Amino acid sequence: MATKRLTFNFPPHLIDQPVTYQLITEHNLKVNILRARITPREWGRLVVEISGKKKNLDAGLQFATDLGLDIKPLALDVQWNADKCIECTACSSVCPTGALSVERKEMHVSFDHEKCIACELCIPACPYEAMQIRF
């Protein structure tokens, strides 16, 4: 089993294509939609956690890319600005996945891209604007 967190960027002409359905039925993948923004005549955007056998995942993503989707890892859209962070830990209790976590003895804060689901709960919790999500 392989799991990836990705953003699917849909060009406007693909908005009527049931891409998610095809990934599930034809490629046997589990697709968990974390966020979605679909507006007529504009690029649509889907943040998904997608999992399945490595072979199926590769084939499914190839299918979506061939269709014209622009696929990027979610990690690129979420940024923890370590220069701005004062390591107060305010974000840590609202992060639902533990992506923002505290090493308890020394109290250092760290951010794990792999665990982030871009829920944005950390954004209002950080007084120093250290978390940025580019959507």
Partner 1 sequence: MAKTIQEINEKIKKGKAVVYTAEEIIDVVKSKGTKKAAAEVDVVTTGTFAPMCSSGAYFNVGHSNPRIKLGGGTVTLNDVPVYTGFAAVDILVGATGIPEDDPRNKVYPGKFHYGGAHLIEDLVAGKDVRLEARAYGTDCYPRRKLETWIRLEDMNEAVLFNIRNAYQNYNVAVNLSDRIIHTYMGVLHPKLRNATYCSAGQLSPLLNDPLYHTIGVGTRIFLGGGIGYVVDRGTQHNPDVPRTDQGVPRMGSGTLSVTGDLKQMSSRWLRGASFTGYGVTLAVGLGIPIPVLDEEVLKRTAVTDEDIVAQVVDYSEAYPNCVPGSLGEVSYAQLKSGSITVNGKKVPTAGLSSYVRAREVANILKGWIAEGSFQLSESVAPLPSVDSGVKFKLLQERPILNNARVAVD
Residue labelled with tokens 């849909």: 10
Nearer to partner 1, 71 or 88 (CB): 88
Q: Which is nearer to partner 1, 15 or 133 (CB)?
A: 133
Taking Cα atoms as reference points, which of 72, 51, 67 lies closest to residue 8?
Answer: 72
Q: How far is the CB of 25 from partner 1 (least distance, A)?
A: 37
CB 99 to partner 1: min, Å:
14
Both tokens assigned to 106: 């020394």
Cα distance between residue 119 and residue 7, in whole Å: 13
- When the beta carbons of 79 and 92 are compared against partner 1, the nearer one is 92
Give the position of tokens 């998610």. Answer: 20
Site residues (CB under 8 A) for partner 1?
Answer: 86-94, 102, 104, 106-109, 124-125, 127-129
As measured in angstroms, the least distance from the Cβ of 78 to partner 1 is 18
Does the CA dihedral 50-53-57-63 come out positive or negative? negative
